[in-house]
Structure 1
Amino acid sequence: MELKNHTILITGGTSGIGLAFAQKFAELGNRVIITARNQEKLDKVLAENPDLTGFASDVSDEKSLTELSKFIVANFPDLDILLNSAGIMRAINLFDDELSLAELTAEVDTNLLGTIAVTQKFLTVLSKNHGTVINVSSGLSNLADGAHPIYNLTKAGVHFYSDALREQAKHFGHDLRVVELVPPLVAETNLEAHSDTTAPNNMRLSDLIEETLTGLSKNAERIDAGFAKTLHTMGKVDSEENTRKLSASMLRSYFPPTK
């Protein structure tokens, strides 16, 4: 896969993984459109990155996605890559009686339903343009870590959705490539306040981009980056025991016992 002269739409493009890829893809000679819910933040990023185009859009809102679709079809009909990067991650105590349903399901709306909804809006144009969908899951899609019960399940859902979409594209004869990008902890993204840049399994954002570009150039369908390779193995071999061990460690870190 040549990594230049593409038209690329990136959700969650004003920070973290999304912004880093937007900047890199633009540098490589691609037309890049980023989306985010916050117009003010989007304007700031666009002012600092004049080679990017932006459109304010909420991946969990159907009306907002319809407006985004109209904008893309009218201005970028040659769209051929979609990178679903919008995501949130929170440590949640499921025994917190004050936790509202909206708080409990926010990650489902953004990480899982958002990925499905955005992809559905652009399947026709992407297929027509022999395009590619890149869905960002997580190393934590392989096994539960206890501290992030909703995040884990949403990323596992993204994994299975990506597999199903890929197989349907083959079955129905659509020229659409589906790639699952599986990052480990990338603390530079500030996905959550607890992130530790010194953690031994943390991956540098620049290294994630390098591994991803290598995987894309080799037409990989799944790109396990950094420690995500180990998590993938842990999810297949002794998964129950590995889940218990990982959860015990993560729960102590995020919810330390009170004396």
Structure 2
Amino acid sequence: MTFSGHTILITGGTSGIGLGFAKKFAELGNKVIIAARNEDRLNQILSENPTFSGFVSDVADENSLSQLVNFINENFPKLDLLMNCAGIMRAINLFEQADNSLGALTEEININLLGTIAVTQAFLEVLVANNGMVINVSSGLSNLADGAHPIYNLTKASVHFYSDALREQAKYFDKALKVVELVPPLVAETNLESHTNTDAPNNMALSDLINETLAGLENGLERIDAGFSKQLHQMGKVNSDENTKLLSNQMLSNYFPKNKE
């Protein structure tokens, strides 16, 4: 792989997909900055990876994001790649949701969707100036609702449409910005949610996701459907209503099994 020489900011960079890419990008000779909400976790990752730089930031908080922008502008003016990895995933039974407050119901929207939009917008100027790239992480479940993750599904579908719109605007207005959508399948080892396990049939190893992504970037792909996401993409285009029913039945029974008398 020859993806090197970049200055890269990764949100959600202290765990999961974000941390995996941070390590790989650093290994390939890139300057890596990670941002995350948990200061203790951030300091631990920085101590374990001395080539990283880092900053405590909440993508869903305007003041926190403003501080991150100032930090990057002052210390990394050559930033040319933003990877939006910050995200949470919750299985929710809408009929038994304990906390029906707006904050609880929209937490995934604030982080997964609004955070992606806000961070991208905040760094558009510097990224364009440096002939840069945005990588937005959506999900295979942006193609097909699975029933068990009603809010997560809509946030990732929205990230997909937002990425498409940003890409087309960059082309239309002749801006030096590449927009890539990374569409991962289940990557159980990232522990995005505790319910999944590495023995799941459609699980993809994090290392395989990273390698497939790097190959896609080197080939100039604008959308990288990794692993089982390729099938989910097709399922969302052909017989999507029927496939939604089938997937939802499977996932709902997995996450919320009915008691059998």
- Letter of the 1:94 counterpart: L
CA distance in 2, matches of 1:131, 1:2: 16
Superposed CA deviations along residues 155-203 of structure 1, whole A, max 9, x for unmatched, are 0000000000000001111010000000000000000010121011000
Query: Share of identical aligned residues, percent?
Result: 70
TM-score normalised by the chain length of structure 2: 0.98
In structure 2, what is the equivalent of residue 191 of structure 1?
A: 192
CA distance in 2, matches of 1:2, 1:169: 25
**Runs of at least 5 residues in structure 2 that lack an aligned partner in the other structure:** none
Does the Cα contact within 8 Å between 2:83 and 2:134 map onto a contact in 1?
Answer: yes
1:171 matched to 2:177:
no
1:220 matched to 2:237:
no
- Letter of the 2:53 counterpart: T
- Letter of the 2:151 counterpart: I
In structure 2, what is the equivalent of residue 19 of structure 1?
A: 19
How far 1:98 moved relative to its partner? 2.6
In structure 1, what is the equivalent of residue 66 of structure 2?
A: 66
Does the Cα contact within 8 Å between 2:2 and 2:28 map onto a contact in 1?
Answer: no
**Runs of at least 5 residues in structure 1 that lack an aligned partner in the other structure:** none
Superposed CA deviations along residues 195-214 of structure 1, whole A, max 9, x for unmatched, are 12101100000000000000
Superposed CA deviations along residues 126-174 of structure 1, whole A, max 9, x for unmatched, are 0000000000000000010000000000000000000000000011110
Runs of 4+ off more than 6 Å: none
CA distance in 2, matches of 1:114, 1:175: 23
CA distance in 2, matches of 1:51, 1:125: 23
Superposed CA deviations along residues 40-96 of structure 1, whole A, max 9, x for unmatched, are 000000000101000000000010000000000000000000000000000001112
Superposed CA deviations along residues 211-244 of structure 1, whole A, max 9, x for unmatched, are 0000000010000000000000000000000000
**Total equivalences in the alignment:** 259
In structure 1, what is the equivalent of residue 128 of structure 2?
A: 127
TM-score normalised by the chain length of structure 1: 0.99
1:143 matched to 2:141:
no
- Letter of the 1:71 counterpart: F
How far 1:2 moved relative to its partner? 5.1
